Amino acid sequence: MTLPTPDPFDYAACLAYLKRSDKEVLHQVVEERIHKLIRIHGQDYLIQIHQEQAGELEIVCLNSSVPQDIEHHILSYVEEWLDLNTDIKAFYISVAAEPVFQPLIERLYGLRLIKVIDLFEAISWAIIGQQINLPFAYQIKQNLVLEYGESKDIYGHRYHLFPHPQAIVDASEDRMRELKCSRQKIKYLKIAAKAILEGEISKQSLLALGYEEARKKLISLKGIGNWSANYVLMRCLGFSEGFPIEDAGLHQALRLNFHLDHKPTIDEVRSLTASWTQWQAYRTFYFWQSLS
């Protein structure tokens, strides 16, 4: 299968983002090729993504043949994952008058906002990441995936899916504590898992609500505050207004790019980002990338 890529699109920048933790177990990058196990209609496909030539991605399924009617599901998955349908030139135009973005755009030109497709994974990742450093968050996520996620052995390598919500609902608290989740995180993860199982929230229903109502709906879950809600809105649901303004990484990036001598207070953050009235998600993502 081949997938045409939009202009601009920087495959190397995607790879750099996807490779940012060696504790990532839900995909791997091997010699410029991305490998990921995805489940479609209960069937597992190990897909490999590679850019053979500019302007298109080659997608191969490594573990089975792909039925005709599944092909477009896989292509849609990759399109959404790598955010190929967003007009990022419009983003560049929108920030053209703001000097702080010029070096970022130059350096990250063609970088797209990599998504987390699965809603439960996105919410869980937000909960896991609350108030701890990123390496530790990756450690916890890896622990949970290895303990509760389904996996498949293919050609001598083990590929994992993020845990199904039911597996987290059923999980013992003691075991989750051993896997480095705090008592709070355990409670919040179980609440989110239950909400998804019971259909109280779903990707489709949140998308239909629109940004502001979806934000409120997410915050109505215990353990999901403004930061987590906006994180999910930007990384999973694709809302361009998604803006986790309380984010510690964003604050560091603001300090760096605005050459401040201290980490900005929340009021200073609001002031520095007062002009961010559109493309908040991409602005945040590019600021995050400026740190690495």
Q: Which residues are catalytic?
A: 247
Please tell me whether residue 288 binds DNA under the rule CB under 7 A.
Answer: yes
> Which residues in the 216-235 window bind DNA by CB under 7 A?
219, 221-229, 231, 235
The C-alpha atoms of residue 63 and residue 167 are separated, in whole angstroms, by: 25
- Number of shown-chain residues binding DNA (CB under 7 A): 38
Task: Please identify, using beta-carbon distances, which residue of 93 and 134 lies nearer to DNA.
Answer: 134
Cβ 244 to DNA shortest distance, Å: 7
By CB under 7 A, tell whether 134 contacts DNA.
yes
Q: Does residue 4 have a cis peptide bond before it, meaning omega lies within 30 degrees of 0?
A: no
Q: Is 131 in the site for DNA (CB under 7 A)?
A: yes
**CA–CA separation, 63 and 47 (whole Å):** 8
Nearer CB in complex with DNA: 150/241:
241
Name, in order, each residue with C-beta under 8 angstroms of 220's C-beta and a sequence gap of 6 or more.
none
- Is position 83 an interface residue for DNA (rule: CB under 7 A)? no
Q: Contact between 248 and DNA (CB under 7 A)?
A: yes
For DNA, the closer CB: 95 or 191: 191
Is 133 an interacting residue with respect to DNA (CB under 7 A)? Answer: yes
Residues comprising the chain, all counted: 292
135 binds DNA (CB under 7 A): yes
Shortest CA distance to 129 belongs to which of 222, 211, 224, 38? 224
251 scored as a contact of DNA (CB under 7 A): yes
Please identify, using beta-carbon distances, which residue of 190 and 235 lies nearer to DNA: 235
Percent helix, strand, coil in the chain, to 5, is 50, 15, 35
Least separation in angstroms between CB 288 and DNA: 6
The C-alpha atoms of residue 123 and residue 21 are separated, in whole angstroms, by 19
Q: Which residues bind DNA (CB under 7 A)?
A: 20, 126, 129-137, 139, 177, 180, 182-184, 219, 221-229, 231, 235, 244, 246-249, 251-252, 263, 288
